[in-house]
């Protein structure tokens, strides 16, 4: 097994088999640059770039790592991503002296993660949120339309989605202010205005477009992986009472656009390749433009809740990316089949990822079944939905043989409405 000369613990999310990309700055103050996570360190790629490490790749003398976003690197394409990743793995391996024996270079290029601040990794141009979990769609449909009409007639034929906004996507650690909006209580004759009373999380994952497509030129499903750079964890916060009132007839608006949180490290598709598994059986068979090898990824997902009175965070849900009915290839192929263009930095999210059991549901709406069965916490507290002061954290990882390929976490604390 490939090993690093650095001491990387087996339970670290950031093994040499991973090497996710992110944008960071030093806590003591510096401009943001691009790095990769390795164990408890961040490797500054801008320094390696200045030292000529990547001159023999397709990058040549082009400088892409001294920037405040990954966009320029993402635009370089799949072959460049592979070359750069290989060079970084070789440089960090225990059998290569290039970085291992250069203590001066290590001092400036390898920075303890505790001394860094993570920034938004990508300049996100467009954002699309899918609705791809059959379990989640069935649960929500059952609540509002009954078991016999849980799934809408189109759901098993088409990856449902809405085109969202990118302006309020924030990096992990950003506080979330409780949103206000219109709601209509069941016993009221007219709507009222005020803070949401039903603030929720949504356990999701997202992927970034690396190289886009031109307007009018769809991405064929067999070519989708050529365009996908990597993946992140996503919490698509939701105000359920605002959503119930406003979603008819056009769908989510203020209930969603106040904030969406993402993890700072982007895990590449090459790192995820060993963890491909078969996805759920799709019946009926999708139309030809959506037919794939039915591949997805085995990514363990955990949801932790920390209240102001609890000393430690408590796990309230555990799911897996492999439960998604519609995979990311199908999502991208469908998104562009009408000729819609994409570009580097566009983000597409999975929609809530719920599993088959109650403990694997991906939202408070499902975990408490519309608040009827509150989540009971060890200290005696209960939660129907999220309270001010609560911190919600999602983590995710793939388990290898003696190593992990992880995403770190995405976390946010709820603040009182302004």
Q: What is the pLDDT of residue 101?
A: 97
Residues carrying CATH 3.90.850.10, the chain = 127-415
Residues carrying CATH 2.30.30.230, the chain = 21-119
pLDDT digits (tens, 9 = 90+) for 397-414: 999 999 999 999 999 999
Average pLDDT for residues 170-175, to the nearest whole number?
98
Is a pLDDT exceeding 90 seen at residue 153? yes
Is a pLDDT exceeding 90 seen at residue 29? no
pLDDT digits (tens, 9 = 90+) for 182-238: 999 989 999 999 999 999 999 999 999 999 999 999 999 999 999 999 999 999 999
Q: What is the pLDDT of residue 30?
A: 86
Is a pLDDT exceeding 90 seen at residue 116? yes
Averaged pLDDT of the chain: 97
pLDDT digits (tens, 9 = 90+) for 261-272: 999 999 999 999
| The CATH homologous superfamily of the domain defined by 127-415 | Fumarylacetoacetase-like, C-terminal domain (3.90.850.10)
The rounded percent of the chain whose pLDDT value lies above 70 is: 100
Q: What is the pLDDT of residue 51?
A: 96
Q: What is the pLDDT of residue 167?
A: 97
Is a pLDDT exceeding 90 seen at residue 36? yes
Strand partners, 193: 182
Q: Class for domain 21-119, per CATH?
A: mainly beta
Which residues does the annotation mark as catalytic? 136
- For residues 395 and 384, the answer to whether their CB atoms sit within 8 Å is no
In the structure, what pLDDT confidence band is assigned to residue 136 with cuts at 50, 70 and 90?
A: very high
User: Which pTM was predicted?
Assistant: 0.97
Q: What is the pLDDT of residue 210?
A: 98
Q: What is the pLDDT of residue 339?
A: 98
> Kind and range of the H or E element at 111?
strand 110-112
Q: What is the pLDDT of residue 311?
A: 87
Quote the tokens at residue 143.
Answer: 């609540």
Average pLDDT for residues 77-90, to the nearest whole number?
98
Q: What is the pLDDT of residue 219?
A: 98
- For residues 267 and 407, the answer to whether their CB atoms sit within 8 Å is yes
75 to each of 198, 214, 227, 367, how far by Cα in Å? Answer: 40, 13, 9, 40
113 to each of 85, 260, 284, 329, 397, how far by Cα in Å? Answer: 20, 24, 48, 33, 19
- For residues 163 and 336, the answer to whether their CB atoms sit within 8 Å is no
Rounded Cα distance, 135 and 137, in Å: 6
pLDDT digits (tens, 9 = 90+) for 275-321: 999 999 999 999 999 999 999 999 999 999 999 998 899 999 999 99
Is a pLDDT exceeding 90 seen at residue 58? yes
SS (H, E, C) 146-180: CHHHCCCCCCCCCCCEEECCCCCEEECCCCEECCE
Classify residue 189 as exposed, middle or buried by CB count within 10 Å of its CB (0-12, 13-18, 19+). Answer: exposed
């Amino acid at each position: 097994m490939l090993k690093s000369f650095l001491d990387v613990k087996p339970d670290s999310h950031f093994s040499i088999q991973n090497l996710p990309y992110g944008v960071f700055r030093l806590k003591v103050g510096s401009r943001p640059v691009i790095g990769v996570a390795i164990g408890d360190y961040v490797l500054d790629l801008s320094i390696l770039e200045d030292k000529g490490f990547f001159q023999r790749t397709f990058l040549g003398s082009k400088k892409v790592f001294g920037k405040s976003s990954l966009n320029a690197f993402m635009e370089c394409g799949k072959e460049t991503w592979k070359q750069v990743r290989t060079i970084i793995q070789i440089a960090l391996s225990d059998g290569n002296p290039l970085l291992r024996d250069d203590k001066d270079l290590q001092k400036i290029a390898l920075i303890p993660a505790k001394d860094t601040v993570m920034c938004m990794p990508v300049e996100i141009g467009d954002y699309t949120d899918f609705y791809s979990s059959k379990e989640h769609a069935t649960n929500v449909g059952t609540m509002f339309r009954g078991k016999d009409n849980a799934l809408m007639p189109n759901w098993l034929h088409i990856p449902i989605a809405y085109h969202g906004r990118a302006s309020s996507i924030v990096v992990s650690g950003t506080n979330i202010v409780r949103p206000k909006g219109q709601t209509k209580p069941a016993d009221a004759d007219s709507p009222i205005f005020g803070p949401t009373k039903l603030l929720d999380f949504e356990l999701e994952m997202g992927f970034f477009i690396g190289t886009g497509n031109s307007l009018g030129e769809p991405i064929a499903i067999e070519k989708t992986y050529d365009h996908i750079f990597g993946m992140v964890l996503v919490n698509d916060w939701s105000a359920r009472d605002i959503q119930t009132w406003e979603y008819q007839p056009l769908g989510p608006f203020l209930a969603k656009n106040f904030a969406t949180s993402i993890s700072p490290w982007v895990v590449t598709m090459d790192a995820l390749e060993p963890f491909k598994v078969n996805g759920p059986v799709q019946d009926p068979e999708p139309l030809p433009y959506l037919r794939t090898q039915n591949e997805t990824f085995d990514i363990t997902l955990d949801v932790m809740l920390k209240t102001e009175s609890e000393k430690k965070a408590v796990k309230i849900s555990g799911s897996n990316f492999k439960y998604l009915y519609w995979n990311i290839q199908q999502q991208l192929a469908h998104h562009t089949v009408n000729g819609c263009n994409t570009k580097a930095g566009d983000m597409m999210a999975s929609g809530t990822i719920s599993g088959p059991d109650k403990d694997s549901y991906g939202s408070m709406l499902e975990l408490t079944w519309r608040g009827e069965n509150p989540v009971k916490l060890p200290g005696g507290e209960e939660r129907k939905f999220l309270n001010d002061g609560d911190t919600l954290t999602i983590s995710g990882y793939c388990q290898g043989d003696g190593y992990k390929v992880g995403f770190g976490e995405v976390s946010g604390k709820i603040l009182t409405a302004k």
